[in-house]
Amino acid sequence: MKAGAPDQEYVGELRKLHARLRHGDNTTQSELDQLHYKLNTYKIHTASAEEILRLVDSQGNFTELMAPRWLCHLLGLRHRTVHVLLQWRSPSMGNVFIFQVRSWQKFDSPGHLDISVGGHVTTDNVSPLTVDSAYREMKEELGLDRNDLIGKKLLFQVGYENYDQDESQSFYNAEWRDVYLGVLAENFNKLRFSDGEVVGLYLCPESEAENLLSQTFIPLASALRLSLPLCLHS
């Protein structure tokens, strides 16, 4: 059994909790605090085990409930994330998407092709607009800031709800995803993979993006499969 995964005796209890909590729509802060204590032995995503997230409703609105990231992923509690799609305007290829290759050390979707930047919205930033979290993640994962973008800003595209799971690892991910699009102003000499979550880049001309989504050879993370179509031809 992989370290951090619950014993079989807890699997049935977790399933009942998922059904009753309804991604956090049917619980209280007191109950979440009790579950935090009770399930603490089975932390996942231990690298950021106590990163606190504020839960959101089915429309992406913040609630008053909070839980650590590992508990959100263990119980399928809905939280907010940011997805960033970066482009580069190539003189010869036109608009090119810049995708990341996830580290093989990542808990979920290791080694998969993914969106340019993605991350969680923590309790440090719970404004209705999550662009500040997007800039923070862009800096952490790629070493870029808003000054490296044409117009010095990311443009909000759309928000949507998503749920996926890996029962073999007791990983249940309920997210509201805010999707942003930005265009890299210059070349790639400022790119840095400083936090170890990204191990490489994949450059995909926009004209080939739909072919990438339909192929089955390169493994694609859920974020890329679902967020990229929302930014095509925007």
For the chain, list the domains and their CATH numbers.
8-75 (no CATH), 80-159+176-230 (3.90.79.10)
- pLDDT < 50: residue spans in the chain: 1-4, 46
Beta-carbon contacts of residue 96 (< 8 Å; ≥ 6 apart): 87, 88, 89, 90, 203, 204, 205, 206
Residue 168: per-residue pLDDT: 76
Residue 43: per-residue pLDDT: 63
Residue 3: per-residue pLDDT: 43
Residue 81: per-residue pLDDT: 95
Q: What is the pLDDT of residues 84-108, one digit of tens each?
A: 999 999 988 999 999 999 988 887 8
Residue 2: per-residue pLDDT: 42
Residue 23: per-residue pLDDT: 97
Residue 233: per-residue pLDDT: 64
For residue 62, which of 17, 147, 132, 125 has the smallest C-alpha distance? 125
Residue 1: per-residue pLDDT: 34
